[in-house]
Amino acid sequence: MRFVYDAHSKLIFSLCLKALGNYHDAEDCTQQVFTRAWKSRATYDPEHAMGAWLTGITRRVVADFYAAKDKQNKVVEATGTNTPAPRSGLSDEVVQRVMVHHSLTQLGPPQDQILAMVYIQDMSQRDVSEKLGIPVGTVKSHIYRGLAALRRLWEVHDG
């Protein structure tokens, strides 16, 4: 499990941090993701990308975090303490982030990994090329095709 953590912890932490906006909450959620992954390791299908599987778990952990926070705020409000009003649910920004991360899992390798490295981890195309050992042109092609696939996933059709 250590090699899985070493290979994917930066991605998972960055997803949590972007979704939660708080370093300590992101650390806690990252730990929960890997704990859940370990507990449910029997459900992992080796024919699918490990990163995609972990991203799915991350999406659920973040959603659970916000649900627990909302529930806690409602309990505090019901007891009459002077705390801020509870959130009415997930913010649009969080929902968008979770949707993006979920959509990336639908792309499959290597596009999911490359787009996450470029747009979530903020790596340059050259850095991705060096890390994955593939030509920069191939990285650019995967980005182009991946973004086109995301665009098709997100299209809204009338009627």
CATH number (domain holding residue 37): 1.10.1740.10
| Cα radius of gyration rounded to whole Å, the chain | 18
Domain stop point among 58, 89, 120: 89
Above 80 in pLDDT, residue 5?
A: yes
pLDDT recorded at residue 48: 86
pLDDT above 90: residue 116:
no
For 54-103, write each residue's pLDDT tens digit. Answer: 999 999 999 989 888 877 777 666 655 544 444 545 566 666 677 777 77
Helical pair 125-132 and 136-154, crossing angle rounded to 10 deg: 110
Q: How far apart are alpha carbons 124 and 36 in whole angstroms?
A: 31
Does 117 reside within a domain?
yes
Mean pLDDT for 130-141 is 94
Query: Within a domain: residue 79?
Result: yes
Could you give the number of structural domains in the chain? 2
Q: Could you tell me the pTM of the whole model?
A: 0.49
CA 154 to chain centre: 17
Domain enclosing residue 125, as ranges? 110-159
DSSP state of 54: H
Burial class (CB in 10 A: 0-12, 13-18, 19+), 138: middle
Instruction: Give the per-residue pLDDT at 83.
Output: 46
